[in-house]
Amino acid sequence: MTKNVLLLPGDGIGPEVIAEAVKVLDHLRESYGLDIDTQYADIGGIAYENHGMPYPPETHKKAVAADAILLGAVGGPQWEALDYDLRPERGLLSIRAELDLYANLRPAVTFEELAGASSLKHELVAGLDIMIVRELTGGIYFGEPRGHQTLDDGERQSYNTMVYSESEIERIMHNAFQIAEKRNKRVCSVDKANVLQVSELWREVAIRVSAEYPSVSLSHMYVDNAVMQLIREPKQFDVIVTGNLFGDILSDAAAMLTGSIGMLPSASLDANGKGMYEPVHGSAPDIAGKNIANPIATILSAAMMLRYTLGFSEYADKIENAVKKVLAEGIGTGDLKAIVKTQVTTQEMGDSIVKTIV
Whole-angstrom distance, CA of residue 12 vs CA of residue 298: 14
Provide, rounded to whole angstroms, the least separation between the CB of residue 28 and ligand NAD. Answer: 21
* For ligand NAD, the closer CB: 67 or 278: 278
Provide, rounded to whole angstroms, the least separation between the CB of residue 10 and ligand NAD. Answer: 6
Query: Is 90 near ligand NAD (CB under 6 A)?
Result: no
Contact (CB, 8 A) for 177 and 187: yes
Contacts of 112 (CB under 8 A, 6+ apart): 126, 127, 324, 327, 328
Query: Is 92 near ligand NAD (CB under 6 A)?
Result: yes
Phi/psi at 43 (5° precision): -145, 155
Provide, rounded to whole angstroms, the least separation between the CB of residue 198 and ligand NAD. Answer: 27
What radius of gyration, in Å, describes the C-alpha atoms of the chain?
21
Is-catalytic flag, 252?
A: yes
Query: Is 223 near ligand NAD (CB under 6 A)?
Result: no
Contacts with ligand NAD: how many residues (CB under 6 A)? 21
* For ligand NAD, the closer CB: 206 or 259: 259
Q: The dihedral of CA 115, 304, 276, 226: what is its sign?
A: negative
Contact (CB, 8 A) for 339 and 294: no
Residues 299-358 contacting ligand NAD, CB under 6 A: 335
Provide, rounded to whole angstroms, the least separation between the CB of residue 286 and ligand NAD. Answer: 5
Instruction: State which of residues 282, 301, 305, 309 lies at the interface with ligand NAD (CB under 6 A).
Output: 282
Please identify which of the residues 26, 100, 129, 252 carries the catalytic annotation.
252
Contacts of 217 (CB under 8 A, 6+ apart): 185, 186, 187
Contact (CB, 8 A) for 268 and 158: no
Instruction: State which of residues 221, 293, 299, 310 lies at the interface with ligand NAD (CB under 6 A).
Output: 293
Is-catalytic flag, 141?
A: yes
Is-catalytic flag, 224?
A: yes
DSSP string, 171-188: HHHHHHHHHHHTTTSEEE
Grouping H, G, I as helix, E, B as strand and the rest as coil, residue 73 is strand
Instruction: State which of residues 41, 68, 73, 245 lies at the interface with ligand NAD (CB under 6 A).
Output: 73
Provide, rounded to whole angstroms, the least separation between the CB of residue 293 and ligand NAD. Answer: 4
How many CA atoms lie within 13 Å of 283's alpha carbon, on the beta-carbon side? 24
Is-catalytic flag, 121?
A: no
Instruction: State which of residues 15, 56, 75, 107 lies at the interface with ligand NAD (CB under 6 A).
Output: 75
Contact (CB, 8 A) for 268 and 101: yes
Active site residues: 141, 192, 224, 248, 252
**Which residues bind to ligand NAD, rule: CB under 6 A?**
13, 73-76, 89, 92, 261-262, 278, 281-287, 293-294, 297, 335
